[in-house]
Amino acid sequence: MIAFIKGRIRLVKDDFMVVESYGVGYKIYVPTSLIEECHKLSGKIALHIHHHQTERSNELYGFKSYSDLEMFEFLLSVNGIGPKAAAALLSTFKGDELRTLIIYQDEATIATAKGIGIRVASKICRELSEKVEGRDEYEGMRPAASTPSRQALEALVELGYNQIEAQAALRMIPRSITDPKEKIKEALRNLGR
């Protein structure tokens, strides 16, 4: 089983890249945040790999950090969450961010990930909070102030939008926008105001 690949990026598409290592090209699905980062990587990359094999498919999923790989595998343990949904979550949040959201049951922020609704976010929090919270490195963590996405979501709901509309508008905002006020402005543009 492949656990790690280091090589040269030969092709980049919307949700995967082809990495050549010792003359072999591996098609590896990666979070979109990593696709966006490719121009900074000078053609070389090292990825932690999850080999996902079923009767119908045989796919590789790659992550820059072991923490993201571990979170991906936690997500796959949730009944009904497949590799595409898990990859979508890790395209929106880094592994450590997602752990924090799960520990503090921030379903609304998790639901802002593409293709993840509030029911799925609730299921993720319910099924993973004990697994994630039991990790030594997360003991003693205290809730921080509400996340920027959560603040933006709450503001949009206060303005009269329902949660589904607000989440959809927030999903369209580039990850580079982190200020809650800017998120709200962009979301209002997406909503047509």
Over residues 77-104, mean pLDDT: 88
Q: Which amino acid is at 3?
A: A
The string of pLDDT tens digits covering residues 20-30 is 999 999 999 99
State the architecture of 4-63 in CATH terms: Beta Barrel (2.40)
Q: Is the pLDDT of residue 40 over 80?
A: no
Q: Where are the domains of the chain?
A: 4-63, 67-138, 148-190
Class of domain 67-138: mainly alpha
**Angstrom distance (rounded) from CA 93 to CA 110:** 8
Checking if the pLDDT of 192 tops 50, the result is yes
pLDDT band at 180, cuts 50/70/90?
confident
Report the alpha-carbon distance of residue 99 to residue 107 in Å, rounded.
12
Mean pLDDT of the residues in the chain: 83
pLDDT of 138 above 80: no
pLDDT level of residue 141 (50, 70, 90 thresholds)? very low
123 versus 176: which is more confidently predicted?
123
